[in-house]
């Protein structure tokens, strides 16, 4: 099948003033802030959840897996089924479902109900980011697509610096349910912001379920997803075990762990913006640079983790280089999916959640094998290199078949 080298992108509406476009993107970023807070705060509240429900901490950890499963399942299903609907209505519906999932989380009387609630809360995650990325690109226009994606993702990265620490503090001070009550409040504010600030977009580009599912027939879509699943996993291999790494390897006190997480989060904010700017110049170059930097920084972290100052510096670097991948990868999927962009954009977040789970699993394996808490960084560097190999294969296929969407 021959298609154009780049699918047509909806231009920003000429009637839309820049201030209105910015407010619309702020509303979308606010949704990302709520989703990011919700996704990461569970990791810091597992002891409180376990005590509150009278279960073991490893069992409580399944709430994270349930949420990730909801993301992986929900992203492609919702994106395909809602492809023909008005995107503003879709975004509001997804945020409403997200709020409901967290309300049930707050009220969950038992562990099984909590598992179901976390799965429900995860369902709209990927579809929201996927649709929001396309809407943001429409608001800013084709020349600033990656920048628009990065601005939406800013909400998620800022959540690691502000939202997660705040929610974790609430959960420790007033019980774990209060953290998710905060997420519900953010979701409600986001709903209002989308309704008031986001343009109607009634004339925006829509497709059909069949058109969206056609993305799954494109090798370049699958290769881009594998880049995310593998290459991004290196960052999560370190992030999952960062607390114990800082205390047992770097020798810092427990009180410094929030500082380390905040440094990591600041790195993600910086990397997200830098990645968006690089991708607007060249998506492929941005992916090569960010993956290569991630591999190098992770490899250096193996030695640098033994000193608290170099450990903090390298945590910033891991967060920055890892986050720089996201806008470039999202834009790559928008390029190679032709008309099936909604599904492809949503699948990106399924891939990143698989990277989250696989990175944590591989990091756990090397630790359990006796290689210590610096081993996840070494394993993560290998994963980033594998991501580079897959990217090279994708570029080689693109050169062999120049008619295929790039």
378 within domain boundaries:
yes
- Using the predicted structure, report yes or no on whether residue 12 has a pLDDT greater than 70: no
Instruction: List the structure tokens of 206.
Output: 């829509």
pLDDT tens for 29-48 read 999 999 999 988 887 687 78
Instruction: List the structure tokens of 315.
Output: 């945590």
pLDDT tens for 199-217 read 876 555 566 667 777 767 7
Hey, is 271 helix, strand or coil? helix
Average pLDDT, the chain: 85
- Using the predicted structure, report yes or no on whether residue 108 has a pLDDT greater than 80: yes
Residue 241 and residue 122 in one domain? no
pLDDT band at 3 (very low <50, low <70, confident <90, very high): very low
Residue 216 and residue 190 in one domain? no
pLDDT tens for 67-83 read 888 988 888 888 878 87
- Decide which of 139, 172, 206 is a domain's last residue: 206
Report the pLDDT value the prediction gives residue 13, as an integer from 0 to 100: 47
**Smallest Cα–Cα separation from 242: which of 68, 106, 112, 359?**
359
- Overall domain count for the chain: 2
366 within domain boundaries:
yes
Identify the domain containing residue 51 by its residue range: 17-206
- Using the predicted structure, report yes or no on whether residue 282 has a pLDDT greater than 70: yes
Residue 232 and residue 340 in one domain? yes
Report the pLDDT value the prediction gives residue 201, as an integer from 0 to 100: 66
pLDDT tens for 135-189 read 888 887 777 777 777 888 888 888 988 888 888 888 888 999 999 999 999 999 9
Residue 246 and residue 346 in one domain? yes
**Long-range contacts, stretch 329-332, CB < 8 angstroms, 24+ apart:** 329/224, 329/227, 329/228, 329/232, 329/287, 330/133, 330/146, 330/149, 330/153, 331/145, 331/146, 331/149, 331/279, 331/283, 332/224, 332/227, 332/283, 332/284, 332/287
- Decide which of 168, 189, 206 is a domain's last residue: 206
pLDDT tens for 296-314 read 999 999 999 999 999 999 9
- Decide which of 187, 206, 225 is a domain's last residue: 206
């Amino acid at each position: 099948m021959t298609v154009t080298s780049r699918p047509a992108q909806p231009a920003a509406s000429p009637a839309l003033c820049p201030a209105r476009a910015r407010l619309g993107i702020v509303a979308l970023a606010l949704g990302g802030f709520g989703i990011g807070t919700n996704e990461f705060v569970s990791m810091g509240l597992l002891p409180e959840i376990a005590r509150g429900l009278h279960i073991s901490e490893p069992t409580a950890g399944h709430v994270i897996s349930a949420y990730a499963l909801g993301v992986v399942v929900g992203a492609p299903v919702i994106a395909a089924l809602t492809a023909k609907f008005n995107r503003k209505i879709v975004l509001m519906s997804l945020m409403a479902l997200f709020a409901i999932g967290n309300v049930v989380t707050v009220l969950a009387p038992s562990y099984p109900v909590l598992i179901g609630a976390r799965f429900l809360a995860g369902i709209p995650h990927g579809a929201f980011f996927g649709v929001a990325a396309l809407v943001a690109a429409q608001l800013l226009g084709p020349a600033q697509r990656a920048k628009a994606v990065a601005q939406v993702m800013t909400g998620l990265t800022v959540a690691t610096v502000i939202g997660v620490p705040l929610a974790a503090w609430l959960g420790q001070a007033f019980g774990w349910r209060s953290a998710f009550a905060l997420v519900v409040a953010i979701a409600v504010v986001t709903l209002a912001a989308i309704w008031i600030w986001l343009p109607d977009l009634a004339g925006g580009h829509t497709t059909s379920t069949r058109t969206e599912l056609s993305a799954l027939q494109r090798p370049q879509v699958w290769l881009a997803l594998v880049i995310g699943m593998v290459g991004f996993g290196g960052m999560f291999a370190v992030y999952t075990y960062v607390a114990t790494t800082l205390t047992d390897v770097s020798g810092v006190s427990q009180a410094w762990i929030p500082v380390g997480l905040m440094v990591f989060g600041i790195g993600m904010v910086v990397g997200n913006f830098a990645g968006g700017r690089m991708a607007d110049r060249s998506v492929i170059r941005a992916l090569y640079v960010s993956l290569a930097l991630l591999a190098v920084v992770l490899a250096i972290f193996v030695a640098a983790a033994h000193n608290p100052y170099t450990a903090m510096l390298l945590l910033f670097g891991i967060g920055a280089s890892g986050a720089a991948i996201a806008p470039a990868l999202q834009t790559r999927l928008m390029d190679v999916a032709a008309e099936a962009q909604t599904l492809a954009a949503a699948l990106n977040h399924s891939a990143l959640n698989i990277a989250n789970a696989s990175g944590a699993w591989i990091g756990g394996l090397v630790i359990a094998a006796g290689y210590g808490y610096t081993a996840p960084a070494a394993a993560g560097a290998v994963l980033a290199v594998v991501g580079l190999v897959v990217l090279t294969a994708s570029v080689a296929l693109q050169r062999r078949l120049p008619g295929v969407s790039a």
